[in-house]
Amino acid sequence: MGVIEYCNVVVNTGTRATDRLYTYKVPDIFIGKIKIGSKVIIPFGKGNKLLEGFVFELKSDREIKNIKGLKYIKDVLNDDIKLSRAQIKLCNWMRDTYLCSFYDAIQCLIPRGTTLKKKKVYRINPNIIGSLISSDEGFDNENKIIQMLMENKMISHNELIKGIGYNCNKYISRLLNKKIIMVEEKFYSDIKSKYKKVVEVNFDPKKIDKVLSNMSNRAYKQIEILKYIARVKRVELKDVIEKTNTSRAVLNALEKKNLIKVVDEKEYRTPVDIDQIERDKVNKLNWEQEIAYANIMKTIRNHRFEKYLLHGVTGSGKTEVYMQLVNNVIKNNQQAIILVPEISLTPQIVEKFLKRFGENVAVLHSKLSLGERYDQWKKIKNNEISIVIGARSAVFAPCDNLGLIIIDEEHESSYKSEMNPKYHTIDVAEHLCRENNAVLVLGSATPSIESYYKAQKGEYKLLELKNRFNKNPLPRVEIVDMRVELEEGNKAIFSRKLYDSMKNELLSNKQVILFLNRRGYSTFVSCRSCGYVLKCLNCDISLTYHHRKNVAKCHYCGYQREVPRICPECKSKYIKFFGSGTEKVEAYVNKLFPSYRTKRLDIDTTSKKGSLEKIIESFGKREIDILIGTQMVTKGLDFPYVTLVGVLSADITLNLPDYRANERTFQLLTQVAGRAGRHDFEGNVIIQTYSPNNYAVISSKNHDYKDFFNKEIRIRKEFCYPPFYNIVNIIVLGKNERNVIKSANRLFQKIESETGKSKGLNNIQLLGPNPAILGRIKDNYRWQILLKYQSVDHETIKGIINYICNKNKNKYIESNVGLIFDMKPYNIF
C-alpha cells in the first residue's frame, strides 16, 4: 500500500442529496495526523464553502481512480470529537438498515452541540491600515465601526449590532464596498472544554529539605507551599492557595524558580453529586436469580456474543442480577450500558446503581446541559467511566470496550425512536454486541411479543424469574364489568367495588394508586351498554373518531365510516366516542374522599424540574394517600404501603388504533398491578372495563404471560402482523401539497410495479397513499405509504425502496419534497 494521501469524507451539507463519500487530497502537513474518524474542514461546491465533515476512509494513491481535480482538506480538528472505527461501522449499518443519511447516523453518535456553526467576523483590510487615519470624516457610524475594529482585531456581526444597533448593516456594506473592512466566516461550537489549573511538584519530594535550605528566610509563603506540594505532589491551583493561605503571586515566583509546574487540565462537569450518596452492599441472590446470573456470566467470561431475554415477574429482583453482572464486567476492565425506558421515570434503579458503583457511573439524561453531556461523552470515550445508564440514546455511548448491554423493560415503546433515523434501540444494541462480542440482556416482566417469539425460536436465550424476590405472592386482581354497573344504575366513573375497596384500604392507613390512561388525541367509538367497539374489517384495528367530520377512520388502510346512531350489536343508543374527561377524576376523588390527601402524577404536574421526584418522595413518606397517575405510575415505583391499585378503564389502551393494543394493555395492567403489595402487606388490584372477556385483561388478572402470548401470537399470524409480517411506513412531505400528492402517487405506482416484478415476493400489501394522521406538521404536508410484507422478504423490499427512493429519488419525487422512512413503525400517526 502506498502513502495515505487521500481520504473519503462525509460532508455536512444539510441535505440528503449529498449523502455520499467525497474524495479529498490530504496536504503533506496532515499526513499521519489525519485518522479514520477525524473531524475535518473541507471546501465544498462551486464557491468552495467551508464545511464540516468526518473522514470515513483513508486511501493511498493506488486506490484512487480519478486523481485530477481533487480538492485539499483544509483542516483536521484533532482536539474535537472523533469517531472510532466501530462507530463508523455503526454509521454504515444504520444507513443501510434505516435508509437514513450518513449525517443522520453521525448525529446520533456525537454529543449535541459539537456540530460546528459559522459566524461572520469583520476585520480591517490590512492593506490600507496605514492610510486609514483621518479619512472619511463626517461618517460617524462608519468611524465608530472602524474604531471598534482598531481596538479588537476581529469582531462578530452580533458584537457590531450590540455596539452600533440593528441598522449597522448598511454601514458595514458601505465599508465593505470601499474595501476598508473585510468579512470572513469563522467556525465555532456551542461547547468548550472546561480547564482547571493544577499545580505539580517539580523536584524530588524526598529532597524537600535541600530545596528549603536554598530558600530565603523572607520567602516564608513560598516555603509553606513547597512543604505542602512535596506532601500532596499534585493539587488543584485554587486549593493550594486556599489551604496555604497564599496567593497566585507566590505560585508565580515558584514557577519561575522551576520548583513547581502549573498545568491546564481538562475539567469534567459532573452532574451527579456522588459524595451525597451512601453506598450500598451486594445482596445475596436467590436460586432463580443465581441461575440466570450464572448463565449470563458464563457467556461474558467467554467473550461471546449472545442475546438473553430475562423474563421476571414484577418484584423478582432483576435489578440485583443486572448489578452483579455489571460488577463482573467492569472487573474485567470492560464497559457496560444499562438502558431504561425514561430516566426521569426510573429514579429508583438509577439510585441503586449509583449506590453500588458510585463515580464509575455516567447518568445520561435529557436535563444535562450541552457541556455536561459533552464531558460525559469524553469521559466514557477515554475509558474513565465503565458504566453508562440512560434512556434510548445512551445506546450510542462511545464505549470502545463494551462487554454488556442491558435493556430494562425491553417492551417499552420509548425504545423506538420517532425522530430521524427511526431506529429501534434493541436493533442497535444487538449490532453493537455482535461487533464487540458482548452480551445483550433484555429484561421485562412482560416481554414484547416479538422478543418472546424470538426467545421461543431460540434466537434469544430465555431465562425466567417466576417468583417475587422476597417470596411475596403476586397481588389479587379483580375485574369489574362496567356494563353491569351501568345496567344497575351507576353511571359514575368509579364502580361500587373500587369505591368500597378504596375506603377500606384508606381506613387501615394504606395507600392507593389510581391509574388512568389519557390519550387525548385518539378516541374510539364504543357502546357503553354492550362494550361493542367500531373496528376496521381489514385490519382488526379500532377506528379513530374524528370530531370535525364526525367519522371514524382506520389509521392503517384509510377506511372510514359514519358513526352509527345506535349500536349495531345491541341496538342501544349508548354508542358514542369514548370521552376521557380524565381531568375530572381528581376533582371527583376529592369529593368522594375529602379527608384524604390526593395528588395527580402526569405531564401537567411534573413538567417542572424535580417535581416528579418530589411527588414520588412524598408518596414514599406517606404524605399522600391517593396517587392518581397516567403511564408514569406504572414504572418502577416500589412502596411498601401501597395495597390497592385501581385501573379506572382498561378500555382506553385496549382500543388504541394499533395492532399492539392488546399487548400494550396486558403490559400496562401487569406493570401497574405489580405496584401493589410488594412488601409486607398483600396487594389488591381492581380493573374496570367494558370488555371483561378480553383475553389481555383476563391473562393479566391471572398473571399468565404465556397464556396471553399464545393467544396474541395466533392473532398476529392471522391478521398478518409482526413478527410474521413487517410494516414499512414511507412518509412523503413538503410545503407544496400538490407536489407532495403527485410524488406520493408516483412513488406508490413505482413501488407497486417493482414489487410486482420481483420474483418470489408473495402477499405484499400496499396501503395508500393516504394523508398522514397528523397531516401537517411545521407547515409540511405529509402523506404516507404503508407496505406490509412477510418478514422473510425484508431485505428484498428494503433494496427496492432504497433503489427507488434514494438512488433514483429525483425521477419520482418532485424537488423540495422529502421522504422519511420508518422501517418498523410503532405509531402510524
Partner DNA sequence: AGCACGCCGACT
Partner DNA sequence: GTCGGCGTGCTC
Q: How far is the CB of 45 from DNA (least distance, A)?
A: 4
Of 68 and 757, nearer to DNA (C-beta) is 68
Strands 642-647 and 684-689: parallel
Burial class (CB in 10 A: 0-12, 13-18, 19+), 16: middle
Interface region with DNA, contact rule CB under 7 A, candidates 110-118, 317-325, 656-664, 808-816: 808-816
What are the φ/ψ torsions at residue 249 (nearest 5 degrees)? -60, -40
Supply 485's cell numbers.
354497573
Which parts are annotated binding residues for Zn(2+)? 527, 530, 536, 539, 554, 557, 567, 570
Q: Is 633 helix (H, G, I), strand (E, B) or coil?
A: helix
Does 808 contact DNA by CB under 7 A? no
Interface region with DNA, contact rule CB under 7 A, candidates 37-45, 113-121, 172-180, 360-368: 37-45
Does 67 contact DNA by CB under 7 A? no
As a whole number of angstroms, the distance between CA 797 and CA 799 comes to 5
Supply 528's cell numbers.
357503553
Which parts are annotated binding residues? 527, 530, 536, 539, 554, 557, 567, 570
Residues that contact DNA, how many (by CB under 7 A): 22
Q: Is 561 helix (H, G, I), strand (E, B) or coil?
A: strand
Q: How far is the CB of 826 from DNA (least distance, A)?
A: 27
Of the candidate residues 47, 130, 458, 520, the single one contacting DNA (CB under 7 A):
47
The order of strands in the sheet holding 4-11 is: 21-25, 4-11, 49-60, 39-44, 75-77
What is the end-to-end Cα distance of the chain in Å, rounded? 52
Of 37 and 43, nearer to DNA (C-beta) is 43
Strand (E) or helix (H) holding 700: helix 695-701
Q: How far is the CB of 35 from DNA (least distance, A)?
A: 19
- The residues that bridge with 197 in the sheet, in sequence order, are 264
Residue 701's nearest CA partner among 655, 663, 666 is 666
Does 45 contact DNA by CB under 7 A? yes
Does 183 contact DNA by CB under 7 A? no
Of the candidate residues 18, 141, 739, 806, the single one contacting DNA (CB under 7 A):
18
| Phi-psi map region of 41: left, alpha, beta (phi>0 left; psi -120 to 50 alpha) | beta
Does 43 contact DNA by CB under 7 A? yes
Interface region with DNA, contact rule CB under 7 A, candidates 68-76, 430-438, 614-622, 644-652: 68-76
* CB atoms near residue 687 (< 10 Å): 25
Contacts of 230 (CB under 8 A, 6+ apart): 201, 203, 205, 208, 211
Of the candidate residues 49, 178, 179, 227, the single one contacting DNA (CB under 7 A):
49
Of 10 and 482, nearer to DNA (C-beta) is 10
Of 29 and 566, nearer to DNA (C-beta) is 29
Interface region with DNA, contact rule CB under 7 A, candidates 47-55, 104-112, 137-145, 578-586: 47-55
Does 640 contact DNA by CB under 7 A? no
Q: Are 824 and 798 in contact (CB under 8 A)?
A: no
Inter-CA distances, 261 with 129, 131, 234, Å: 41, 46, 9
Does 815 contact DNA by CB under 7 A? yes
Does 101 contact DNA by CB under 7 A? no
Of the candidate residues 4, 12, 24, 727, the single one contacting DNA (CB under 7 A):
24
Q: How far is the CB of 15 from DNA (least distance, A)?
A: 4
Q: How far is the CB of 597 from DNA (least distance, A)?
A: 55
Query: Sign (positive/negative) of CA torsion 420, 426, 428, 429?
Result: positive
Q: How far is the CB of 475 from DNA (least distance, A)?
A: 55
List the alpha helices (DSSP H) in 276-346. Answer: 287-301, 318-331
Does 810 contact DNA by CB under 7 A? yes
CA 246, chain centre distance (Å)? 48
Does 65 contact DNA by CB under 7 A? no
Q: How far is the CB of 818 from DNA (least distance, A)?
A: 7
Q: Are 536 and 543 in contact (CB under 8 A)?
A: yes
Annotate each residue in 274-313 with x if it binds DNA (CB under 7 A) or - if it does not, as one string: ----------------------------------------
Residue 496's nearest CA partner among 676, 598, 670, 646 is 646
As a whole number of angstroms, the distance between CA 550 and CA 209 comes to 92
Of the candidate residues 366, 550, 753, 816, the single one contacting DNA (CB under 7 A):
816
Interface region with DNA, contact rule CB under 7 A, candidates 42-50, 76-84, 352-360, 549-557: 42-50
Which residues lie near DNA (CB under 7 A)? Answer: 13-15, 17-18, 22-25, 43-49, 69-71, 810, 815-816
